[in-house]
Chain A
Amino acid sequence: MQQSLRTLLGVAAFLLGWELLGRWSPWGYDVISTPTRIAAQFWNDADLYALHVAATARTATLGFLIGIAFAIAAALSFCRFPSLETVFRGVNVALFAMPPIVIGPVLVLVFNGDWPQIVLAALVVYFPTMAAMLVGLRDIDPRLVDVVHLYGGAELALMRFVRLRSSLPSLLAGLRVAASLAVLGAILGEFGSGVRWGLGTFLLGSLGESNPARLWGIGLASAALAMVGYGLFDWIGARVGRATTAVTLAAARLPDQIAWRDRDIGRRVLLLIAAAVLPFILWEVLLKVTHLNPIIAPGPLQTLAYLFVGPDAGSERQIMLQALGETLPVAGLGLVSGLAAAFALASLTVLRPGLVRAMLPAALLLQSTPLIALVPIVLLIFGRGVVASTFMAVLVVFFPAFVLLAQGFALVPRPARELVEVYGGGAAKQLILISVPFASRYLYAAAKLVAPRALLGVMVAEWLLSGVGLGNLLNVSRGTLDYGMIWAGALISILISIAAYQSVGIIERLVQWVGTD
């Protein structure tokens, strides 16, 4: 009771401070607005919100349901047939690393009506759900495998009695993330498809008006919509989790732990080649099935030809390279500074554990806020320049990295730190000798997780705000119906994302290799 009273007072003080700052500081109205103005604007726009929110909620929900259906089916198949996971590795990594904003314009060429948003929501939901469930299905007590085998039960019985129920808490944690991602996917889809209703459309239309209160309102509404989904699965997860976690070890699950090894090297090479080729085969098959005009929807080879052998290949390549030159340094800068800030702040766990613990709930919440909700804030504070793009990248990198690293630092075994303490080592020694080396694998995991996001953040800012770089190029190509560029831009962005993701893994292995005696 006292706890909730204190929270209530805290929120009230925050709102009051905001209100006063907004009213009386020189940059108040234009940048931070005030809670009362935002509320009044919201009240005025109530009819508009009803239509926009309903449209986004509908496409996000449909996409969510389709995406998790595929994800659950995939997780079950990958668990049953591990080679299948290797074959689909290319598809999975592509779906994990792709910046969804580049897929929107492509989906508009392939699907009609609300389907581009629905499909994009389904695509972004797939990976986190599949990965979470697969970890849950695989990570079971090996003794239970023995018990089931002892009574003659095979894989099917193991699935029925042990795996399915074991995976539930992990699956629900995945669905929690997926629900808020579905909202992001639906909104990003609206940017590309130009539909009449939806929060993305609303935001796009309001960016040009000088009405900060409305921009804040749209940002907060998208965040609220994402939080509804997050909260729902968080609530279910808490109810299910209580009965199961009491005797199972809650080990840290890193996204890159889904690895698969085969003793037979020839077979492994064959499977890996299949993994690399499969995404392109699926691309071709999709186009064949939909009977689209190859000019509007080129296959992988035509897309490469557009950049390298077509009549205007030289100038198209020039445009693409210039856009990349504008986008990549900003994304890299955002990634490195976001990660550095997250690592520095999370390492405070050792010195000031209370401080980090207090920040964690807010960071968890912000991590699941769709980055679209940040656009108005970034626009109002940083304008439309390169600083805005960089800051956008830092923001989308910082929160997930901080959460993961804080968890990593919190898992440092206490005896190891106490050992340093026994020999008179202070907090700084503990940090350098024990905590940082221990948390470094979380740093790599965080880098893999956020490297694709940094690119997405920059591209969203470019599309909506700064009007330069790859994000802008895609938006312009969409307007001028330059189909070749839309497909080539999407392909190149996905390949860069995958390369960034993979190179973190290579760096990690190199450092380990150099580090071992």
Chain B
Amino acid sequence: MHKNILQSIENVAIWPVISFVIFFLFFIILLWYVITVDKSFIHYMKELPADDGTDNKTSNQNETEHL
């Protein structure tokens, strides 16, 4: 059976540590990105649902930047 290919994995305890490191690094990079991202791009993306190319466009007022 395929499940018996390996009898054991050396240091299985390291797996959760690896998981944590992968996630932590990923999250730091992501955070760094959203803090430094171009404001006008964020503004553009926020407005996408409002503009769907039809006549009944909804307008958005009182724009403010957050985060």
A joins B in a complex = no
Q: Which residues of chain A have a CB within 8 Å of any CB of chain B?
A: none
